[in-house]
Structure 1
């Protein structure tokens, strides 16, 4: 290799290394799109807009929330996955979209592992087992005793077999050794209404969806699905008191289309962490959804996703659940 060739080659390599960093220094110079799979007015929509508002102030560009609901998250996830990896599209994603769907659906129009890169966590969403305030069940033990004495008669409302609450229902039945009647609802709000009204006995749902009715004394939580008690619900024991090691919670994270410049991902992660680390923001989020400990690092989120995939792969195998 002559000196001129070496100089050109070296210069090209240095330019390739310099360009992403240099380009990222000018990012963002136009509005950023934040796609989510839930409809306008939903809890996730409120969270995304709250966070987006604060991020837009830090980045000096509007954060435009784009709702793409439907298809068990597939519509929104596909739209995000097919977006340009230019640092101007991010996906506000659920555990179902990034992990669970891989083991429940055969023909997803996106690949959760290949189509996205991790950016940062938003928070975890604990789930609970609740009953009508007038229910005869005073504890999880009461519910289990009834179910064992009356196989198949205990009706448990959830959002369907391929949702987080539906999977929790199946997992609880399997690990507790009981046979239940899992009743799918089109929405968690409909399940809450029927449980409050006494049309169904038990509800498995995320905590935010029932917190108002619990506060009003119309629902009584028997247990939470996290390993430990949660803030504000200190009187409610975890399922782990009955099933040691039981620890399941929904979560929300932000990812970007694969190929998004690393410098942009790292910058977005840092700004997200600042927003989520604000105590006022954490309290506002907790009132409608997740418990947050900040965004964490990109590497930490990547490790969490790997661990979640391993766990749900084993869980669905243990429950003999095949993608359909």
Structure 2
């Protein structure tokens, strides 16, 4: 039998060894382990803020509300939409980039603030490739080139001829510099060797309203924004931007079919602040991917002309880099910059 004083001495020695081991362990590793454990065991413990960098009623807003509502069921916490529009989507996306990386502030953003603005803006408040963590790709959607009937054109080629004959006479509305809404029209300008005035707005409803009121003559926007006005006879749809025709718009040709060698998607994706723990990103990815794969949610998105293609964070990161390689040269050729 071991004497009690030896047992006490052994216990003291073990405690001292444990203290030394903990002291030798980097604090970052301990903090990371603690954060990961918390994330796996307790996250989310309160509502999640989903920031949309455009106004209510915009296509990113509609996407966020549809998908956020479904994801909240799996997360077992409300997903609260917050609209923070301005600066071509940079303002709201910067809110996400600078938020605490704890999974309680995420964003639903588009090609401008996530990719193209890094080329357009001389100075960005954040770096989308350094300060944001991709969660998942969301949806693809076509843009529709639509014009006011007062222009008297019925095809994209007729529009191009009109612009070529009247440089500087017409203008177009977009949802901001760097968006597909802007770049698709800049490509048309380049191909027509014409000057058409760009008038940016902070949302698709505002851009459509400007065309309806006669403040602008044409626009390139998601079907959700323009098709109700096309169906009412207040706008004419001349082409869609995607490589293939939109199933719900079988009579509207693609840009390539109309003679413009270009295609593009007005996509939306989900991001979090850089540094968000991997277990939190994994949980968010799991729930939002599940939401977009839910048949009822897919049908709701399809009714808004959105095709869901969720995937892994790595796939979304690679897609963003590919988009930069695709559109960066287009932006530089256009000469568009923002101080």
Q: If the TM-score is normalised by the length of the shorter chain, which range does it land in?
A: 0.7 to 0.9
- Deviations along 1:33-69, one digit per CA (max 9) or x if unpaired, are 2122123454433332222221111111122222222
Corresponding residue for 2:38? 23
Q: CA–CA distance in 1 between the matches of 2:278 and 2:215?
A: 52
Instruction: Give how far 1:12 is off.
Output: 5.6
**Structure 1 residue 158 and structure 2 residue 144: aligned?**
no
Q: CA–CA distance in 2 between the matches of 1:197 and 1:69?
A: 22
Instruction: Give how far 1:144 is off.
Output: 2.0
- Matched residues, number: 317
Corresponding residue for 1:310? 325
Higher mean C-alpha deviation, range 264-273 or range 181-190: 181-190
Q: How is 1:1-324 mapped onto 2 (pairs within 5 angstroms)? A: 8=21, 22-26=37-41, 27-133=43-149, 135-159=151-175, 161-174=177-190, 176-184=191-199, 186=201, 188-193=204-209, 195-196=211-212, 200-243=216-259, 245-288=261-304, 290-293=306-309, 295-324=310-339
Q: Is the Cα–Cα contact under 8 Å of residues 47 and 289 in structure 1 kept in the other structure?
A: no
Q: CA–CA distance in 1 between the matches of 2:105 and 2:215?
A: 43
- Aligned to 1:250, the other structure's residue is in SS state coil
- The structure with the larger Rg is 2
Q: Is the Cα–Cα contact under 8 Å of residues 146 and 239 in structure 2 kept in the other structure?
A: yes
Instruction: Give how far 1:321 is off.
Output: 3.2
Task: With the length of structure 2 as denominator, give the TM-score of the two structures.
Answer: 0.82
The 1:36–1:100 alpha-carbon spacing in structure 2 relative to 1, beyond 3 Å, is same
- Deviations along 1:8-35, one digit per CA (max 9) or x if unpaired, are 49x9699788656543321222222212
- Aligned to 1:286, the other structure's residue is in SS state helix
Q: CA–CA distance in 2 between the matches of 1:253 and 1:157?
A: 23
Unaligned runs of 5+ in 2: 1-16
Higher mean C-alpha deviation, range 232-241 or range 158-167: 158-167
